[in-house]
Amino acid sequence: MKLQHYLGGLEGLDPISLETRVFVEAWEERIFGIHTAMMALSPQLNLAATPSTFGTVWTWADLRKGAESMNPFDYFKFRYYEKWLGGISAYFVANGYITQEELDARTKDFLTSPPAMPKGGDAAVDARVRTYLLVGDDPKRDRSTPPRFASGDVVRVANPNSVDHTRVPGHLRNKHGVIDSIYPDAYTYLCDTGPDGIGEAMPVYCVRFDPEALWPGNTEKHFTFYADIFEAYLEPATAS
Amino acid sequence: MQRFEYPTDRETANAARARALESLLIEKGVITSETVDKIMSIFATEMGPFNGAKLVARAWVDPAFKMLLAENTMAAVEKMNFVTKGAGAEGEHMRAAINTPEVHNLIICTLCSCYPWPVLGLPPYWYKDPSFRARAAREPRKVLSEFGLDIDPGKEIKTWDSSAQIRWFVVPERPAGTDGFTEEQLAALVTPESMMGVSMVKPPAR
């Protein structure tokens, strides 16, 4: 069990941050841009090949897996883009694009007497990144089988073995909800999550939950909780 | 409150590491020297909350558009002249939750920080903060009051957790004192926070 899969409803936390900026340090834009370029250049996308040397798969799922596998204290300790910087740097080292020694040495250079940033690169790389941002990566597919549930059905959220990544909010596991709506067609996920159960195209539902059933006697009134849930995570209602 | 200890050179070290990584990636032909700047420029001018504000303003002046936005969000988005049309990274499938006098909507992502890029751009820090993500799921009224927004106890709050491939945004209520405003004037009043459900759109200053 990973705390990061069970954040919803966690108690004892501090007042809400009111920081409305997207980036609080200038460097954060750089790591955001690198991540976005990696997603755009990732080879599984159906986009024109470019001279970029990036040839391994990188999606949101890879970034999320890294964050979900962190020590939970570190997850709270490090700011959002600090986690990205750590995860993405480690990925480039693990996949042989750079070595840790190179990165450490270059970091030291920037700390002591910052060298000029290198110039150049093929414009086709940036063109592909732009295309990715404007077009996206549509997960919708034709539906090969009818959806298992209908609007109004009472369902129970499954409690799968989520090895390293999941899209089941932990606070909904084993809880009953009602199908509020069914999204058209079917949706793939960015990777196969193994025994957790998603990856292939499947129906997705918007499921309505009574917060009182999620946190009995410990939530607010006149409040309804909705979550979008892949079909593999839903089971018929069971007597409780 | 600071609960952890950090090295005194935390930010300079982070900045140096980010620059070092970017410079190595340019040298090794992974990205170009322009890639990051070009991405940031797209978010500054083409994919951002200025698009969402236009959608909201159109919904305020055109009831049929508002209904379409509620029932078939992507069809409504396609009617706008956004560069992303009815697509865009992190906006391939979006849904609008419409605030009414009876219902106040709030979007969250308890598992990460899913956000509708083509219409809202990139998420502010508070939305990505684990405390917000944890607390808004169970005690939204208390959380909203910390943002300075007190929701009438009789009003229903609907919280939408973005746990699959659908991205959500809120259409806030039109403020009083805006009769006769053009769509452009109305759009100028709409903030990202109001399209996430943590603030109301304020009437124009007099």
CATH code of residue A166:
2.30.30.50
Q: Which amino acid is at A10?
A: L
pLDDT at B176 over 80: yes
**H-type alpha helices, chain B:** 10-27, 35-45, 49-61, 63-71, 73-78, 117-120, 125-128, 130-138, 140-146, 183-187
What gap in Å lies between CA A9 and CA B147, rounded to an integer? 18
Boundary (domain end) residue, out of A135, A164, A198 = A135
Closest CA to A177 of A149, A150, A154: A154
Q: What does the pLDDT average to over A26-31?
A: 98
Same domain assignment for residues A80 and A127:
yes
- Whether B155 and chain A come into contact, CB under 8 Å, resolves to yes
- List of domains in chain B: 10-43 (no CATH), 47-195 (3.90.330.10)
CATH code, A65: 1.10.472.20
- Domain termination residue (choose one: A135, A168, A186): A135
Does residue B195 belong to the interface with chain A, where contact is any CB pair within 8 Å?
A: no
Same domain, A199 and A183: yes
Kindly state whether residues A149 and A212 are assigned to the same domain. Answer: yes
Assess contact for B169 and B90: CB atoms under 8 A: no
* B16 close contact with A: CB closer than 8 A: yes
Question: What is the distance between the alpha carbons of residues A155 and A177, in angstroms, rounded to a whole number?
Answer: 5
Residues of B designated catalytic: 109, 112-114
- Specify whether A174 is located in the same domain as A120: no
Chain A, 143-162: which have a CB under 8 Å from a chain B CB? none
- Which of B17, B89, B110 is facing A169, going by the closest CB pair? B110
Nearest-angstrom CA–CA distance, A234 and A205: 9
The pLDDT assigned to A240 comes to 55
ipTM over 0.90: yes
Contacts of A173 in chain B (CB under 8 A): none
Residue B206 has pLDDT above 90, yes or no: no
Place of tokens 């939305």: B127
Q: What is the DSSP letter of B160?
A: E
- What's the average model confidence in pLDDT over B4-13? 96
Does the distance separating the beta carbons of B34 and A126 come in below 8 Å? yes
Q: How confident is the model over A150-201, as pLDDT tens digits?
A: 999 999 999 999 999 999 999 999 999 999 999 999 999 999 999 999 999 9
Pairing of strands B156-161, B103-108: parallel
Compute the average pLDDT of residues B173-202.
97
Last residue of one domain, picked from the residues A79, A105, A135: A135
Q: Which residue on chain A is closest to B114 by alpha carbon? A: A60
**Whether A226 contacts A204, CB under 8 Å:** no
**Are A19 and A88 members of one domain?**
yes
User: CA A97 → CA A43, A53, A92, B24, B28, distances in Å?
Assistant: 15, 9, 5, 9, 8
Q: Answer whether B80's CB lies under 8 Å from B57's CB.
A: no
Q: Which of A197, A204, A205, A65 is nearest to A139 (CA)?
A: A204
Examine the pLDDT at B205 and tell me if it is beyond 90. Answer: no
Its domain, for residue A89, covers: 3-135
Say whether both A31 and A130 belong to one domain. yes
What is the distance between the alpha carbons of residues B153 and A72, in angstroms, rounded to a whole number? 35
By three-state DSSP, how is residue A165 classified? coil
- Domain count of the fold of chain A: 2
> Scanning every residue of chain A, which has its alpha carbon at the shortest distance from the alpha carbon of B95?
A183
Query: Is residue B86 scored above 90 in pLDDT?
Result: no
- The yes-or-no verdict on residue A37 having pLDDT over 70 is yes
- Same structural domain, A197 and A82: no
Given a contact cutoff of 8 angstroms between Cβ atoms, the answer to whether A182 and A147 are in contact is: yes
The greatest distance separating any two alpha carbons of chain A, rounded to the nearest whole angstrom, comes to 68
- CA dist A44 and A12 (Å) reads 42
Q: In this predicted structure, what is the pLDDT of residue B50?
A: 98
Same domain, yes or no, for A84 and A173? no
pLDDT, position B1: 75
How far is the alpha carbon of A107 from chain B, nearest alpha carbon, in Å? 5
State whether the Cα torsion A97-A99-A105-A108 is positive or negative.
positive
